[in-house]
Structure 1
Amino acid sequence: MSTPSEVTLVQLNWRKNLFVAWCGCFLTGVAFSLVMPFLPLYVELLGVSDPHALTLWSGAVFSVTFLFSAFASPFWGGLADRKGRKIMLLRSALGMAIVMMLMGMATSVWQFLALRALLGLLGGFVPNANALIATQVPRNKSGWALGWLSTGAVSGALIGPLIGGLLADSFGLRPVFFITAAVLFTCFIMTLLAVREVFVPVKKKDMLHARQVFTSLKNPRLVLALFVTTLIIQIATGSIAPILTLYVRELNGTTQNLAFIAGLIASVPGVAALISAPRLGKLGDRIGPERILIAMLLVSVLLLIPMSLVQNPWQLGILRFLLGAADGALLPAVQTLLIYNASNQVAGRIFSYNQSFRDIGNVTGPLMGALVSAHWGFRAVFVVTATIVLFNAIYSWRVLRRRPVLPEQTHE
């Protein structure tokens, strides 16, 4: 059992834990995105040469990680509630480091696909980092802390492709996987040495079942609505990804500098989110995260619709930057509301369920975008996405207004 002095010490050290967790999320974001720019090239290196098959295999190895993560997250979340969040961070970082090293040794595309699936099964660093910080930080600072924490993975994902491309050009494709493994192992060592967690283990017989987890919540309907919001946020983000480069080419009217322009427009939302997330999170601590959530969903709708009407790439880039600033507040607001409505005993599972919805959105969004663009054109993707986000804003507003959520000043 933890003594009151130990609990007080951890409460005093939550800022250090937040900094270390941010670094871990940053390194994880870098590690995952390092290999993204050349996944199709690696699939080709493993023997897939037919263009049609290469497209299918590239899509499969990309999406299988999110698919398996969606199924694995609840299991790891339950284990985190029993054993602690720090050990889940260590398990995730070390497991992913080993899998990344094995990817660099793959000799067939089937091996690579299996390892990408295993990566999804062993992942979960970011949701467990969120759960760790959310259960330690004072509730009146949750929005700011989770907003700042979200910038770690975002900034890592932004810089990762650039570093990955440079490394692949300099050293070849396989060595990048070994470098990525080293980055993840660094994350493991840093977490092992620097993160402090006082955790009282819960016996397996005392663990709540999934149904009991939801009945223990202050507002189960609200929590379910927040899960749906996470799903739709990821669908909205992913729906544009498959068509962005092609849409930019259509707007640009030429292929000159296409890769640079498309890459720039793809990255600006992340830069905007990096700037806005902590600031809007802090504002949410003052005026309520539910107001930030609804306001930013509506702003997203108002920005998505004009994207279907733009006439040149720079108009699209400006709107994408503004959309990123709005999106930067959405997931931290959701996470803050989740922790307001869940006890520390079930926080790990609640965050893991939320991660599952996020992963399903990561798989569903690109598929939806591809199907809509194939039937109705690129511009229709933005209209359909705006309609879905608007539906979510209305649904969330109806659920949130029925029971106002007030942050507690201290943890349970």
Structure 2
Amino acid sequence: MELWRRNLYILMGSQFLVMGAMTMIIPFLPLYLQEMGVTDPEKNQMWAGVIFGINFLSAFVMAPVWGSLADKKGRKIMVLRSGFGMSVVMILTGLATSPLQLMLLRLLNGTISGFVPASISLVATNTPRERVGYALGMLQSGGVAGSIMGPFIGGALAELIGFRMIFYLTGALLGIASLVVLFFVKEEKLPEEEKSQSAGFFADGSFILHQRTLLILFAAGFLLQFAMLGPQPQMPLYVERLGAPGGYIAFFAGLVTAVTGMANMMASPFLGRLGDRIGSDRVMVYAMIAAALFFIPHAFVTNVWQLLVLRFLLGLCMGGLLPSLHALVRHHAPAGKESTVYGYNSSAIFLGNMMGPIVGGFLTVWIDIRGLFLVTAGLLLLGAWWIKTGLNRPTTPKREQTVPQKRVSSAH
């Protein structure tokens, strides 16, 4: 097997475990807090929201830092740092005895995370350019599969082995996945071979954030996640309003999410390969337009079955979004700074993950979830126009596509 394929398949499996571990806590977090003595419903909801969200807050802050280190020390070592670190934190989470301890551990977990952007960077820089779209699509499938199966497995295991044992088991699996990466993944394109220049973390960051094309891509990543996740917390209430068959609200609310993820997982490799042939920018624009068009009828459905069909079609479109975005970031990143750029891109995505549900919740109070679907469609159409017009304009000249020395960047 070609080395890049072997790396891809191993990192796909590892991403499945990592994303599963990050989402496995969702179904039983309020119950875990009750076990710790937080029985008041309002306090339980408050703690659950803070504990779940703080992981993404610290990941948002630290992603560029770990990306910069990956460009200096290597991408594989960053994957291992994150994998082994999260393994230890997961085991410690099983030993937590108070909500404060749990919150601090989730904060630490986000701080040392970076497995996903490091894996994306490693695959993108060690895969032939003509196969990057396909490889990133496959990697996306692994992560999405983990996100889908994580809550399901977490809920099932909570009934069988208890809450704390889930954390021990997850920590052990993350450790095993990291060992597999250690022994079987090989990074051919090392930072030394790229002869990357560094003017320091802040100077490099300033240079990257002054690249108009990269800013467009970061904004697109934020907008995608903001729009896609905005209606997500309201979906169970929408399912209840539409009338879940047999009164199985929780089941159909979960199914609505699952079919979207399954379609995403199915479409990602195909659309990634299509991006290699016709251009990732085209795939991204068309997928955003199609997603917007499928969001519009969300506002007018009259039963759950119609909603399920639309969510599946939406998931097919979503399969072309993040892989195309990652491929475009790889194409436009300055030589030797790919991981740093992916770090900033991940921060933008994390910010969208956090802000989308918050703002969506506030908007729902004023315009109802049906109105929120229409706003989401408008945001996606705006993003498609932005990518189409922004990436077709002249970009930074070739001679500027290396990181400047400190004196040049400070003058800039």
TM-score, with structure 1 as normaliser: 0.91
1:67 corresponds in structure 2 to 57
Cα distance, 1:210 vs structure 2 = 4.4
Deviates more, 1:45-54 or 1:115-124: 45-54
Residue identity opposite 2:28 in structure 1? F
Q: In the aligned structure 1, how far is the partner of 2:66 from the partner of 2:208?
A: 19
1:259 corresponds in structure 2 to 250
Residue identity opposite 1:32 in structure 2? M
2:139 corresponds in structure 1 to 149
Q: In the aligned structure 1, how far is the partner of 2:50 from the partner of 2:79?
A: 27
Cα distance, 1:167 vs structure 2 = 0.9
1:185 corresponds in structure 2 to 175
2:399 corresponds in structure 1 to none
Cα distance, 1:165 vs structure 2 = 1.2
Answering whether residue 18 of structure 2 is matched by residue 28 of structure 1, we say yes
1:238 corresponds in structure 2 to 229
The answer (yes or no) to whether the contact 2:196–2:336 under 8 Å persists in 1 is no
Answering whether residue 303 of structure 2 is matched by residue 304 of structure 1, we say no
Give the unaligned 5+ runs of structure 1.
Answer: 1-10, 406-412
Answering whether residue 362 of structure 2 is matched by residue 399 of structure 1, we say no
Two-structure CA RMSD over aligned residues (Å): 2.1
Q: In the aligned structure 1, how far is the partner of 2:41 from the partner of 2:372?
A: 25
Residue identity opposite 1:92 in structure 2? S
Answering whether residue 67 of structure 2 is matched by residue 77 of structure 1, we say yes
**Counterparts of 1:10-409 in structure 2 under 5 Å?**
12-198=2-188, 199-201=190-192, 206-212=198-204, 215=207, 220-252=211-243, 256-403=247-394
Q: In the aligned structure 2, how far is the partner of 1:195 from the partner of 1:166?
A: 32
- TM-aligned CA distance change 1:15 to 1:48, over 3 Å: same
C-alpha distance after superposition, 1:342-392 (max 9, x if no partner)? 244101101111110111111101101211112222212211211222221
The answer (yes or no) to whether the contact 2:195–2:336 under 8 Å persists in 1 is no
Cα distance, 1:53 vs structure 2 = 1.4
Q: Secondary structure at the match of 2:300?
A: coil
C-alpha distance after superposition, 1:110-164 (max 9, x if no partner)? 1101111111101111110000010011111111111111111111111122211
Q: In the aligned structure 2, how far is the partner of 1:253 from the partner of 1:324?
A: 21
C-alpha distance after superposition, 1:74-110 (max 9, x if no partner)? 1111111110011101100111011111111111101
Q: Secondary structure at the match of 1:401?
A: coil
Q: In the aligned structure 2, how far is the partner of 1:279 from the partner of 1:70?
A: 29
Runs of 4+ in 1 over 3 A off after TM superposition: 200-217
Q: Secondary structure at the match of 2:38?
A: coil
Residue identity opposite 1:265 in structure 2? V
The answer (yes or no) to whether the contact 2:63–2:347 under 8 Å persists in 1 is yes
Residue identity opposite 1:78 in structure 2? S
Residue identity opposite 2:343 in structure 1? S
Q: In the aligned structure 2, how far is the partner of 1:254 from the partner of 1:318?
A: 15
Q: In the aligned structure 1, how far is the partner of 2:160 from the partner of 2:228?
A: 31
Q: In the aligned structure 2, how far is the partner of 1:144 from the partner of 1:204?
A: 26
Deviates more, 1:41-50 or 1:221-230: 41-50
Cα distance, 1:399 vs structure 2 = 0.2
Aligned residues: 394
